[in-house]
Structure 1
Amino acid sequence: MKYFLIFSFFIFSSLLVAQTKVSGVVKDASGTSVAFANVIFKDSNIGTITNEEGRFYLESDDDHEAVVFSFVGYETKEVVLDGSTTYKMEIILNEEASALDEVVIFTGKTSKKDNPALVILRKIWENRRENGVKKFNQYSYDKYEKLEFDLNTIDSTLIKSKIFKGMEFIWDQIDTSNITGNSYLPIFINEAVSKVYGDNLLDEEKEILKGNKNSGFSNNQTLIAFVKDLYKEYDVYDNYLKFFDKAFTSPLSRTGIDVYNYVLLDSAYRDNKWCYNIVYYPRRKGELTFKGDFWVNDTTWAIKEINLRASKSANLNWVREVYIEQEFDVLNDSVFLITRDYFLSDFSFRKKEEAQGVYGRRTTLFDNYSFDIPKEKSFYGEQVDPYSEEIYNRPDEFWAENRMEELNKDEKGVYEMLDTLKTVPRFQTFYKLGATLATGYYEVGDFDVGPVFSIFGFNEAEGFRVRLGGRTYFGQNDPWRIEGFGAYGFRDQRFKYGISAKWLLDRKSRLTVFAGNRRDVEQTGASLTNSNDVLGRSLASSSLISVGANDRLTRINLTTAGFSFEPAKNFQARVTGSYRTLESATETFSLDYLDENGNVQSEISQPEIELGLFYTPKRKTSGYGVERTIINDGDFANIYLGYTYGIKDAFGGDFEYSKIQALYSQPWNIGGFGRLFTTVEAGTILDPVPLGLLSPIPGNQTYFSLYNTFSNLDFYEFVSDTYTSLHLQHNFGGRIFSRIPFLRDLDLREVVGFRAVYGSISDENIALNAPNGLLLQAPEDIYYEYSIGVGNIFRIFRLDFNFRGNYLDNPGARRFGVTGIFGFSF
């Protein structure tokens, strides 16, 4: 009886909510798919265009009796609908002879000389900076943003899966996408209301968050920040639109004519403005391009509406679909301002349409524009606390007043559904597993065990090594944190450990004190710009497999204490006092040196004071505790300047010296040509010091591709007291392979690298270190090497082929080597 009642309820509900859904494919008389054909419900403004395979999906909350199909050069076709749902339609359009005589149809590669669409495109280029908020000295507006994630392509097999046992109630929220036609289940939603201020004269912009609400993760600002960074804002007028760390060529780009074909399809009034409709599609497969259409005004040459759909053949991992819509409104009969921005992406491990995936959807609405109301420059520099409890706990009345569009029934239901889901033990288990894979730590109450990825290692000193650690974790905004680890080497049968603590004393200035101690085996010289991180450890001394004997290892006992603060955003000053003892960890490697009396010493005892200045412009972080999570890692510059003073006699110090170091690293998006990573390092030690305190050029005897190391150098092959190094690595993102027929469908990516270093070492340092028996050599004739890599193998692996450029006569010189690296990237 109860099943009958439930069935009756759903039937009754469907009668209350009128809805029409259609999907299918449009072809011509020869069976060829018709891309970018117009599909519209009769006597309505609800429509779409077919994709490059001629497929379409269209839905409406109203009843419609017919759907109309049209395309330039074909007869318009009207199809009467028998019911509210009609799937898998196959529409045949016949060529229209009269239209073919009157309209020039461009197919394939459109001519740049005679194409009227390109005349309009050039007008857009000429006026691109004359529209929107850029036309005013100052501006402000209200912004409402809604982010949602949905599990999609849901079928009966998934619903009946044992994985969801005990969570069956979630399937009550299933609906269908009006973009792809696939079923979906909302699993996360986040809403934000903010006020944006900008000054084009000062080149400043500031966004003040007024309210934030999300389903099930109210206090997880890190998750919210990661999601928002994934869907960065963009401007369709820019030459390149960056999504998921990939630079797509905009159809409005000045270089668009090199990668797109354009067709002038139609002209009509849009909101009482005469506009032209232009369809665009990629010239070649495999490039980061879109397909779609836009409407452009005939006097201001501003975009009125635009939609963009990523090409199916775009070299993009884990993303099956990208779809964008933007709408603009008219101000003062001339200026067009964006009012709505919709972004949908379909994440999936497989690109097949029937594979399960996750929709990520962002809807941004803009309203209440104001112009030419200046504010003091200091206004833009004032810090705004985005983590106020009040902001994340606004009442329902606030949202009813500030939402620019109502939530639909699915979005309303997901709040309650996820709050319930959090109480299900099986879901809690899945959540913990996902958090472990993301952070490397497994949560046990208020203590995290990990990092789980560094439990096992091997080196010549310790043999097989086991390491286990953990940290306190009461919440992401903890004002203090203690971390530690213990390790044991089965060859040297020694126990190692490390422990550190840090405490945030002042949240505004981020004044932090820290201290720690570590006894361990380390590969010193694994990087040029050193840090006294107590818990730091290089892969070089803990990797399971290495090239040749990895025996040039050091036993270190390091104690540090210091403080840091941030006088300005993303600028940190740090003062560290340290004391360390160094001795060789193997019998085949020596740190021996001559003391001031001419006696040979094997152990170094050295206190230091270091002043470090760190600047990371445009870095984004989440949280306000003693540790913050970097949101846009690898997407900002790193600048470091450090001075170290070595103290002699005090605390048993052996040497007095000064060391200066500098580092600058920067990623660059080179338009449609991929992404370039650059690093420049320089440093000098002004006084004679033993080998343990010099600057070895960082070699790499592992089989991993390690950025900022030299893949064909052994450890300590070059040692310097003054150095300058350059590292370049460029990922073309498949631009070359996409033009090779038999490689095109593999989605491989080309990576090239170049590394060079100059160094010198003084006669005093050579004499001081004579007893260790190591022939100290610096690369005074600039050492260089280069590499050619094939990335995106199985979408998770890159293989690099490394070539040594010179110093080929050095004993045991490795002329060629192969390294690899695993990683997930879009």
Structure 2
Amino acid sequence: MRLFPFIFLFFTTLSFAQITGKVTDVNQNPLSFVSIYLDGTVTGTTSNEEGDYSLSIQSTGSYTVVFQFLGYKTLRKKVNITLFPFELNAQLEEESITLSEVSISTKENPANEIIRNVIANKDKNTDKFKAYTAKFYSRGLFKIKNAPEKFLGQSLGDFGGGLDSTRSGIIYLSETISNIKYQKNPKRFSEKIVASKISGRDNGISFNRAEDANINFYDNSVEFGNDLVSPISTNAFSYYTYKLIGTFYEKSGKLISKIKVMPKRENDRVFVGDIYIVEDDWTVYGVDFTVTGIQVNIPAVDKLYLKQNYNYSTSNDAWVLISQTIDVKVDFFGFKFDGRFSSAYSEYDFNPNFDDSTFTNEVLSFEKKATEKDSVYWQKIRPVPLTLEEVTDYKIKDSIKVVRKSKKYLDSLNKIQNQFNFLSPILGYNYRNSYEDWSLNFSGLIDDLGFNTVKGFNTSLGMSYFKRINDQGKWWNMSGKLNYGFSDNRLRPVLYFNKRWNNFSRPTLNISLGVETPQFNERSPISKLNNLISSLLYRNNFLKIYEKQFVKVRYSEEIKNGIYFNTSLEFANRKPLFNTTNYSWASEAKRGFYTSNNPLNPTDFVTPSFEEHSVGIATVGATFVFNQKYLSYPDQKFNLGNNKYPTLNVQYRKTFGARQSRFNSDAFIASLRQYINFGNYGAMRYYVRGGMFLEKRDIALMDQFQTIGNVLRAPIGLAQNSFNLLPYYEFFSNDRYAEAHLEHNFRGAILGRLPLVNKLNFNLVLGAKSLTMPGRNPYSEFSVGLDNLGFGKWRFLRIDYVKSLNAGIQNDGLLFRLKLLN
């Protein structure tokens, strides 16, 4: 049976590939990632992991085929082709790299001079390909070795059917062919996918994007999992040391310098390896780099390997990228993955006719039926041949794909997945019917577990029904939950209905009704977990709640690209609540008494915190993401946002219908937020929010403007738009208010320059916050923090020293944060 893949690969290759062969070293070991092209052209093809290649040409005749691979001598073979297919094998010798006597004897590091020349010529060189179109091919591959059968008690299945008896094999294989357009100034990129395929899947929507694969070392900051410092960045000498390994002559007679790139600090955001530079042109000829999981801030990753090959283009006198591979190794919680993402560029046009309509906010789109191409099409157009393992994976998964969509198979799979066990009432239970696309979920007792002084220990039992209608995002959901407080002995039910019509504009309707206990601050500054910990361990009951019987209808939709509309209507009856328990694990004698449930008078346990009332609440608002970029997939629109401009949110809220007119109000709220990446100099984010009432009235506290405060020293889930040392109900307003939050993470830009300190790989973070309300002195905070704290690759801790100022009173404190939880 294993003979068939060989036969399949052989005949399909003969059918379409014009020149085929294998590339090996002198010991007959296959060489992958070798660039093969016709002399005088820019691009051609690349050998696969088994060293096999196929190169298409237009007609018979005499040609010179070039084989180029970093670390090996470039080989040129002259052939006279009279009949197709034509077999041409190649054997490459390792490059002889030597140091000249001048390089050895000079007192100055010659590598430094070369890198300075490259930096000085970056603009000139990149101007040579400041605009172009090209064809882009990518292949994504993930393999797993000795996959566990279960994880956290849950069966992991067979990962799509590609595993062998040792539970090893391909779990993801995808290919993409697209047409790309690029412009340097202003920087624009556009991609249209003409063919996309995923092994074993019908829709074939691959997420291999050309822009994601566009790793440009001429930029100062390189997006590669993390923002890494380029070895030819303008400030590269602050991060790297360089050593000239040697030189060799390229096929055209150009002298190539091989330079070893070494980090000054082991775990900085840098690359390690070799960069090849073209002498006199001072441009990149190739790179062979390694990056660790620490450097890209992905602890699960062991190492990433990156290779790039460049070729000379006579049409624009430039060295341009023709191929790239990224290899990744993951060893995490018993999972061992190997991945490879390879890319090839061809058919460059460096004189495109771009006009104002060439680039739009749609940066990626699919041609019609791009995901429906058959194997004949792929064999004809695929520039890099499949390996035998990849051919086998396509064959197996395509053959079982039909079976795995059958009712019999899906029912058998669900039978295993739907097994009920003794932990299901605690952790939850999900019943699936995959064939009819619906599921029934029961939430576990632990899902909504909490503690507060009003309800004591409380939890919820919930049930949810979800029905998927189509692949374009149409679904509906109905759910309900029943919350019970063990101290106040109250059951509080809530019902929900949600419906979405598509994943493009995402029109969504939400209906809910029941009884719940929200916080007095609608921005919910205290999480249930934070309150449970602070109450039981320290007798600090910061959570203040009231009861609301309500019915609410909400609708939202992206009415135009970057414009998100929302509106809601709610009718509610609000009641004050009182403490019903004094329980805590902390000693009352040592920690004192709980405060009351009245946020305005914590020592008053008798007087209601507000007057019971009924009110209607109507809201209408919009969020504007200016010049929003987006990806258009066949089944959804994926919005990327645009960090060049701030995001604006505006809301109008009207409370009405209360018997006591003082509870009625009209309020306007607006906010701005933005994340600005300064590359090697870190990143800044800010958030500004303000509001005003049309008329100042004695409205209920829950309708007034409030901030997100904090008094915890190790908060879980503290948002960037929250204050660090501000008591939760210290500031509120029924008139006007404004708040601002600013934070800059310098990454290694400052501490990386300090001797000894730079070895720690800590990041400096500076922050400032401000709050102003009529009738109150302004409140301000300033903070200095250290981020990226930890050991080895596990760097999840952040510590901030915060100082606050209000009405001449200063306060300070340390905040500890786990970034996994924030």
Q: Give the structure 1 partner of residue 218 of structure 2.
A: 237
Q: List aligned pairs for 1:220-369, cutoff 5 A.
A: 224-225=206-207, 232-244=213-225, 246-279=226-259, 280-310=261-291, 314=295, 316=297, 317-332=299-314, 334-349=317-332, 357-369=336-348
Q: Give the structure 1 partner of residue 140 of structure 2.
A: 147
Q: For residues 133-155 of structure 1, give each alpha carbon's deviation from its aligned partner in whole angstroms, at most 9, with x where no partner exists.
A: x5467532111111111225x69
Look up the equivalent residue of 2:818 and give its one-letter code.
I
Q: List aligned pairs for 1:165-564, cutoff 5 A.
A: 185-199=169-183, 203-219=187-203, 224-225=206-207, 232-244=213-225, 246-279=226-259, 280-310=261-291, 314=295, 316=297, 317-332=299-314, 334-349=317-332, 357-381=336-360, 386=365, 390-418=369-397, 444-445=432-433, 446-447=438-439, 449=441, 454-467=447-460, 468=462, 470=464, 472-474=466-468, 477-486=472-481, 487-504=483-500, 510-517=506-513, 519-525=515-521, 527=523, 539=528, 543-546=532-535, 548-564=540-556
Q: Which one of 682, 700, 706 corresponds to residue 718 of structure 2?
A: 706
Q: List aligned pairs for 1:660-809, cutoff 5 A.
A: 660-672=668-680, 674-687=682-695, 688=697, 689-700=699-710, 703-707=715-719, 708-720=721-733, 721-731=735-745, 749-750=762-763, 752=765, 754-761=767-774, 778-782=776-780, 791-792=789-790, 795=794, 797-798=796-797, 800=799, 803-807=802-806
Which deviates more from structure 2 when the two are superposed, residues 655-664 or residues 405-414?
Answer: 655-664
SS in 2 for 1:121: helix
Q: For residues 431-472 of structure 1, give each alpha carbon's deviation from its aligned partner in whole angstroms, at most 9, with x where no partner exists.
A: 999xxxxxx995633126377784322222222222335451
Q: For residues 393-417 of structure 1, give each alpha carbon's deviation from its aligned partner in whole angstroms, at most 9, with x where no partner exists.
A: 2111221233221111122222345
Q: Give the structure 1 partner of residue 424 of structure 2.
A: none
Over 3 Å counting, the alpha-carbon distance change for 1:798 and 1:716 in structure 2 is same
Instruction: Determine the C-alpha separation between the residues in 2 that align with 1:69 and 1:374.
Output: 41
Over 3 Å counting, the alpha-carbon distance change for 1:368 and 1:660 in structure 2 is same
Look up the equivalent residue of 2:726 and give its one-letter code.
L
Instruction: Determine the C-alpha separation between the residues in 2 that align with 1:264 and 1:455.
Output: 61
Post-superposition shift, 1:716? 0.7
Q: For residues 676-705 of structure 1, give each alpha carbon's deviation from its aligned partner in whole angstroms, at most 9, with x where no partner exists.
A: 443222223332233121122212356315
Post-superposition shift, 1:362? 1.2
Q: For residues 107-158 of structure 1, give each alpha carbon's deviation from its aligned partner in whole angstroms, at most 9, with x where no partner exists.
A: xxxx8xx3333333233233323446x5467532111111111225x69999
- Answer yes or no: is the 8 Å Cα contact 1:482–1:499 preserved in 2: no
Instruction: Determine the C-alpha separation between the residues in 2 that align with 1:257 and 1:285.
Output: 15
Q: Which one of 564, 582, 589 corresponds to residue 572 of structure 1?
A: 564
- Answer yes or no: is the 8 Å Cα contact 2:363–2:630 preserved in 1: no
- Answer yes or no: is the 8 Å Cα contact 1:695–1:719 preserved in 2: yes
- Answer yes or no: is the 8 Å Cα contact 2:618–2:653 preserved in 1: yes
Instruction: Determine the C-alpha separation between the residues in 1 that align with 2:650 and 2:161.
Output: 57
Instruction: Determine the C-alpha separation between the residues in 2 that align with 1:476 and 1:544.
Output: 42
Post-superposition shift, 1:750? 4.4
Q: How many residue pairs are counted as aligned between the two chains?
A: 694
Q: List aligned pairs for 1:577-616, cutoff 5 A.
A: 577-586=569-578, 588-590=596-598, 601-603=611-613, 605-615=615-625
Q: For residues 481-540 of structure 1, give each alpha carbon's deviation from its aligned partner in whole angstroms, at most 9, with x where no partner exists.
A: 325341332223333344444445577655544433353112242639x9xxxxxx9557
Over 3 Å counting, the alpha-carbon distance change for 1:312 and 1:495 in structure 2 is closer
Post-superposition shift, 1:239? 0.9
Instruction: Determine the C-alpha separation between the residues in 1 that align with 2:626 and 2:307.
Output: 33
Structure 2 gap segments, 5+ residues each: 4-21, 32-50, 52-66, 73-87, 420-427, 580-595, 602-608
Instruction: Determine the C-alpha separation between the residues in 1 that align with 2:673 and 2:429.
Output: 29
Q: For residues 765-808 of structure 1, give each alpha carbon's deviation from its aligned partner in whole angstroms, at most 9, with x where no partner exists.
A: xxxxxxxxxxxxx4524355665566446827425455452359
Which deviates more from structure 2 when the two are superposed, residues 698-707 or residues 510-519?
Answer: 510-519
Look up the equivalent residue of 2:312 and give its one-letter code.
V
How high is the sequence identity, in percent, across the aligned residues? 17
- Answer yes or no: is the 8 Å Cα contact 1:713–1:814 preserved in 2: no
Instruction: Determine the C-alpha separation between the residues in 1 that align with 2:168 and 2:762.
Output: 32
- Answer yes or no: is the 8 Å Cα contact 2:451–2:528 preserved in 1: no
Look up the equivalent residue of 1:214 and give its one-letter code.
I
Post-superposition shift, 1:338? 1.6
Instruction: Determine the C-alpha separation between the residues in 1 that align with 2:529 and 2:694.
Output: 28
SS in 1 for 2:487: coil
TM-score by length of 1: 0.70
Q: For residues 625-673 of structure 1, give each alpha carbon's deviation from its aligned partner in whole angstroms, at most 9, with x where no partner exists.
A: 7x9777x799897623223141433899764433222223333444345
TM-score by length of 2: 0.70
Instruction: Determine the C-alpha separation between the residues in 2 that align with 1:606 and 1:137.
Output: 58
Post-superposition shift, 1:605? 1.6
Post-superposition shift, 1:188? 0.9
SS in 1 for 2:325: strand
- Answer yes or no: is the 8 Å Cα contact 1:285–1:738 preserved in 2: no
Q: Give the structure 2 partner of residue 816 of structure 1.
A: 813
SS in 1 for 2:726: coil
SS in 2 for 1:717: coil
Post-superposition shift, 1:569? 2.5
Over 3 Å counting, the alpha-carbon distance change for 1:193 and 1:650 in structure 2 is farther
Look up the equivalent residue of 1:478 and give its one-letter code.
G
Post-superposition shift, 1:819? 4.3
Instruction: Determine the C-alpha separation between the residues in 2 that align with 1:441 and 1:62.
Output: 58
Q: For residues 231-261 of structure 1, give each alpha carbon's deviation from its aligned partner in whole angstroms, at most 9, with x where no partner exists.
A: 55321111111222x2211112111122222
SS in 1 for 2:517: strand
Look up the equivalent residue of 2:115 and give its one-letter code.
L
Over 3 Å counting, the alpha-carbon distance change for 1:129 and 1:156 in structure 2 is same
Post-superposition shift, 1:675? 4.3
Instruction: Determine the C-alpha separation between the residues in 2 that align with 1:520 and 1:118.
Output: 67
Instruction: Determine the C-alpha separation between the residues in 2 that align with 1:502 and 1:168.
Output: 31
